[in-house]
Amino acid sequence: MTGRATPPSRVRRLPRPHLPARLRRRPVPTPGSPVAPADRFRFTDLLGEATADIGSRPGRLVMTVLGTVLGITALVATIGLAQTAAAQIARQFDAASVTQLVVTPRTASTGGGTTVATTALPWDAVPRLERLAGIESATLLAEVPLPEAVVTTVPVNDPSQPPSAPPPVYAASDELLDTLGGQLATGRFFDAGHDRRADRVAVLGARVAERLGVVRVDTQPSVFIDGIAYAVVGVVASLDARAELLGAVILPTGTARADFGLAAPGDAQARIAVGAGPQLRGQAALALAPDDPESLEVDAPDGRSELGRDVQADVNEVFLVLSVIVLLAGGVGIANVTTLSVMERVGEIGLRRAIGATGRQIAGQFVAESVVVGLLGGLIGAALGVFAVVGVSVVRGWTPVVDPWVALGGALLGAVVGLVAGGLPARRAARIEPVDALRGGT
């Protein structure tokens, strides 16, 4: 026989080791056989490799995810509770400030260092204000100047009693309680008839009533102001605005004008609809002083209470800082576990590199693992944060408010934390050379 070449079809090939399809290199074509297309490491292969090792160590997975879960939970719960509490804060502060408008005369300095009002409020300021859209109720209020007055519940002045400062005396119109959000402890408030007839009646604030020993009005108690008796018809228990009136004696404006010569109201106060402040700021001055609106100063609120915003901002800052700290701790945990995973799988990395995996594919695998772990922690944390907001709201009797984008953003933020945390370990894994990995890896 001559030395003829053996046909390619009769060549005996040694069996190839079994490898997953995603790890096989492109087969070497034999003479006469068609060239097979190159295998591609697709996204599904990357996701499969990334998730295959995650569930192999459940204990490590739980500890790795825990930091991200706590951080996202704190973040979502903080934002959700802030949104929920915003309505409660606004409601409480709005009752005392956002719904109150005050009109006072502007003052000017005189040569002696004193200040005087440049104009006076009209006595019919209440009906003028109530004709404006957005005004729900209005009242007049003025402190009665009584520098040496004695206010007592007994008509006889006992010189043996130690002197004490008399309580202030205020004059008000009959809609005071409705305008300032007041509640009566006992009795009633004087009405427009008392004001019109200048009846000698008085209403006491809770503090001055306790000081004077007036606890009930059915026995027809009287309070004496400069020796003049005024029948106490009621005791005010609370006021949402102008709490200083709880320590004062309140008379009808008509009575103060008749008995003490009250010349003009001190200020006009109105309860307004929420959000009507900017509009009424200019209209109120025109309604009360159309010839000189600049002579009046109108204190009208904006849409929301500045104090409420400040309180909410301070609470948000504290909780956001805490949640960011916990979230950073979760990112460090993901980075540490990913680095440990790279060190443990050096041999596997070398084998993958030897059979054709690129450094980019190796890096993508570890980055994908970190992203999956972070996303898992973000999803769990966002769910727990929403449940925390609902639970606190139920306990406190609030209406829970959670923006759906906050929950979705919390889950995605967990994935971003995983992406950032896994970047450095993945870069380290991509730089491992196949020879060094197979030589020193396990």
pLDDT digit string, tens, across residues 209-241: 998 888 888 888 999 998 889 999 999 999 988
Burial classification of residue 11, based on how many CB atoms lie within 10 Å of its CB (0-12 exposed, 13-18 middle, 19 or more buried): exposed
- Please check the confidence at residue 429 and state whether its pLDDT lies above 70: yes
Q: How far apart are the first and last CA of the chain?
A: 52
188 and 68 inside one domain: no
169 and 127 inside one domain: no
Name the residue range of residue 221's domain. 145-261
Q: Which range, 3-12, 67-76, 199-208, is most confident? A: 199-208
Query: Percentage of the chain surpassing pLDDT 70?
Result: 69
Cα–Cα distance measured from residue 370 to residue 391, given in angstroms and rounded to the nearest whole number:
31
150 and 207 inside one domain: yes
Q: Note the pLDDT of residue 36.
A: 44
Average pLDDT score over the chain: 77
329 and 421 inside one domain: yes
Considering the domain boundaries, does residue 36 fall inside one?
no
Considering the domain boundaries, does residue 201 fall inside one?
yes
Pairing of strands 182-187, 151-152: unpaired
Considering the domain boundaries, does residue 14 fall inside one?
no
164 and 220 inside one domain: yes
Q: Is 6 helix (H, G, I), strand (E, B) or coil?
A: coil
> Average pLDDT of 403-419?
83
Considering the domain boundaries, does residue 3 fall inside one?
no
The pTM assigned to this predicted structure is 0.53
Q: Note the pLDDT of residue 39.
A: 47
> Average pLDDT of 362-366?
77
Least confident piece of the model among 34-43, 171-180, 345-354: 34-43
Confidence of residue 316 (pLDDT cuts 50, 70, 90): low
Q: How many domains does the chain have?
A: 3
- Please check the confidence at residue 158 and state whether its pLDDT lies above 80: no
H/E segment holding residue 384:
helix 359-396
Residues 6+ apart with CB under 8 A from 420: 331
Q: Which range, 92-101, 105-114, 205-214, 269-278, is most confident? A: 205-214
